[in-house]
Amino acid sequence: MNITLKQAQNVIEKAVAKAVAIETKMNISVVDSGANPVAFVRMDGAWLGSADIALKKAKTARFFDMPTGEIGKLSQPGNPLFNIEHSNEGLISFPGGIPIKDNTGTIIGAIGVSGSSVENDHIVAEAGLEAIS
Amino acid sequence: MNITLKQAQNVIEKAVAKAVAIETKMNISVVDSGANPVAFVRMDGAWLGSADIALKKAKTARFFDMPTGEIGKLSQPGNPLFNIEHSNEGLISFPGGIPIKDNTGTIIGAIGVSGSSVENDHIVAEAGLEAIS
Amino acid sequence: MNITLKQAQNVIEKAVAKAVAIETKMNISVVDSGANPVAFVRMDGAWLGSADIALKKAKTARFFDMPTGEIGKLSQPGNPLFNIEHSNEGLISFPGGIPIKDNTGTIIGAIGVSGSSVENDHIVAEAGLEAIS
Amino acid sequence: MNITLKQAQNVIEKAVAKAVAIETKMNISVVDSGANPVAFVRMDGAWLGSADIALKKAKTARFFDMPTGEIGKLSQPGNPLFNIEHSNEGLISFPGGIPIKDNTGTIIGAIGVSGSSVENDHIVAEAGLEAIS
């Protein structure tokens, strides 16, 4: 039910390969089904401030079992979850965090990526998911 | 690769001179390339609450290797980095923080200035940069 | 001057191999010379609470450029650094954190290990260091 | 009633001179009578973790208007102020923090020094005080 370290490292390896392919430098974090850290890498030259963001994206994706960008739509001013980011010692609600499911559809963890545009962060996170399934 | 205390003090001296010239009272913080504090001054009569803001601006500028105001444009409601300020134990994303580069373009630290309008904060931060190069 | 991701991954690989050899399950964190996170793994079945401890041990070792256990000797009741752990948002001052030096003796980062007895944590951290030099 | 930036810089200059004389590398912080930061320097090569400790020593000295080491005697196990360090977002109660008085005996701020043995930290803090009076 829980992502293994080996799986998490495979996820990160795929994500790093994608980051290199699109010429970005990323921080990549993987958490398990309990939203606890399993593995993390900061690529050389990647933003220092993105380490915390990558972890918070992974946690946020698992906290609510959806891609972080979906939460961000709901947390805008006037929307139902406005400022939900204050909870859980800080959420990140823009794209780059995605739940990780096994081949039965069960959520076994989440990946969070930060270091470039949110579009690139999301692309790299999705590439990581290819390691599972 | 890292700003020295002497360089940081020169940056602050230039920044203070500018702050005096435009008749403002500033808090000025300099961090190194690891986003760790190197030097700080609060000018007499400057806002107490700006000490923490100056430090957070300097850290934020180094965390993402860009002027803090650039992040603030992206963190507005509806924009890609909405509420990024919740990361890293608190970012400051309005102008006044700028990375410090050596004459090869390598980032060796960052300056953060707070105490007046954000326009003035940025002007004073830029004046500090003149001490390097 | 700063540990690379490749070096950090080699350190972790050596540390994991040692952890397996002595039949323990560890959380292992590596920070750079600015005490910022570079890489992290939690071995399958390792304590959840040790993720934060591994990071704090790595940071503590770099904050004071010595093995964490040395600080712990000084922070006992009646000793000079009693309750130093309240600084820097939480230090860990028992063994398991060690600075990482390059072959010139320059500190380029630190490793923190948590998940077993502090003796084992320290042994695994030392094994990680063998990857450098 | 309050230390000026010029006075704080003079205190730091004296303290740095003493630190150099006894071959130590220090973090030195000065706060005002409101326990708010006025000036700070980290000497090249000084411990990264001592920046926060220097500030906390200065604040602690002003919070209770006595040298930090006096508080540390009272905060030992079994003593009246056991674990007072949990208050105020973290106190530091070993030597290196001293209130700064003007020539009428009025407390106008405090200095905090960290980076060597607590004896050296205290000596450097005392040297800083010579700048006032």
pLDDT single digits (tens) D72-82: 999 999 999 99
- D86 → chain C, closest CA residue: C86
Which of C78, C79, C111 lies closest to C95 in space, CA to CA? C111
Among C62, C80, C86, beta carbon nearest to D48: C62
Is some CB atom of chain C closer than 8 A to the CB atom of A41? Answer: yes
- C1 → chain B, closest CA residue: B1
Do the bridges between strand A37-42 and strand C97-101 make them parallel or antiparallel, or are there none, so unpaired?
unpaired
CA dist C57 to B34, B59, C64, C94, D60, Å? 18, 22, 11, 8, 25
pLDDT tops 90 at residue C1: no
Q: How far apart are CA C69 and CA C81, in angstroms?
A: 13
Is some CB atom of chain C closer than 8 A to the CB atom of A49? Answer: no
**Chain A closest CA to C35's CA: distance in Å?**
10
Cβ-based contacts of D43 with chain B (< 8 Å): 5
As given in the structure block, the two tokens for residue C58 are 């790595």
Residues 80-99 of D with CB under 8 A from C: 83, 85-86, 90-95
Tell me what pLDDT residue B74 has: 97
Interface predicted TM-score (ipTM): 0.96
CB-CB under 8 Å, D72 with C82: yes
- Helix (H) or strand (E) holding C99, with range, is strand C97-101
Report CA C112 to chain centroid distance, whole Å. 2
Tell me what pLDDT residue A44 has: 98
Q: What is the 3-state secondary structure of chain A? A: CCCCHHHHHHHHHHHHHHHHHCCCCCEEEEEECCCCEEEEEECCCCCCCHHHHHHHHHHHHHHHCCCHHHHHHHCCCCCCCCCHHHCCCCCCCCCCEEEEECCCCCEEEEEEEECCCHHHHHHHHHHHHCCCC
Classify B55 as helix, strand or coil.
helix
Tell me what pLDDT residue C133 has: 76
**Chain B closest CA to C64's CA: distance in Å?**
13
Q: Could you tell me if D34 and D65 are in contact, meaning their C-beta atoms sit under 8 angstroms apart?
A: no
- C36 → chain B, closest CA residue: B34
Tell me what pLDDT residue B133 has: 76
pLDDT tops 90 at residue D112: yes
**Chain A closest CA to B45's CA: distance in Å?**
32
CB atoms within 10 A of CB A70: 16
pLDDT bracket for residue A64 (50, 70, 90): very high
Which residue in this structure is represented by tokens 């993105």?
Answer: A50
Is some CB atom of chain B closer than 8 A to the CB atom of A69? Answer: no
**B–A contact (≥3 CB pairs within 8 Å)?**
yes
pLDDT tops 90 at residue A133: no
Tell me what pLDDT residue D1 has: 84
Please provide the average confidence, as pLDDT, over all residues in chain D: 97
Is some CB atom of chain B closer than 8 A to the CB atom of A117? Answer: yes
CB-CB under 8 Å, D72 with C63: no
CB-CB under 8 Å, D36 with B37: no
Left, alpha or beta for C108 (phi > 0: left; psi -120 to 50: alpha)?
alpha
CB-CB under 8 Å, C34 with A48: yes
Which 8-state DSSP code applies to residue C106? -
Left, alpha or beta for A132 (phi > 0: left; psi -120 to 50: alpha)?
beta
Is some CB atom of chain A closer than 8 A to the CB atom of C42? Answer: yes
Is some CB atom of chain A closer than 8 A to the CB atom of C53? Answer: no
* C-alpha radius of gyration, chain D, whole number: 13
CA dist B123 to B21, B41, D5, D28, Å? 11, 17, 21, 28
- Work out the average pLDDT over A19-42: 98
pLDDT tops 80 at residue D133: no
Cβ-based contacts of C80 with chain D (< 8 Å): 94-95, 117-118
The residues of chain B scoring below 70 in pLDDT are: none
pLDDT single digits (tens) D12-29: 999 999 999 999 999 999
CB-CB under 8 Å, B43 with D41: no
- Work out the average pLDDT over C87-112: 97
Tell me what pLDDT residue C87 has: 98
CATH superfamily to which C5-129 belongs: Haem-degrading domain (3.30.450.150)
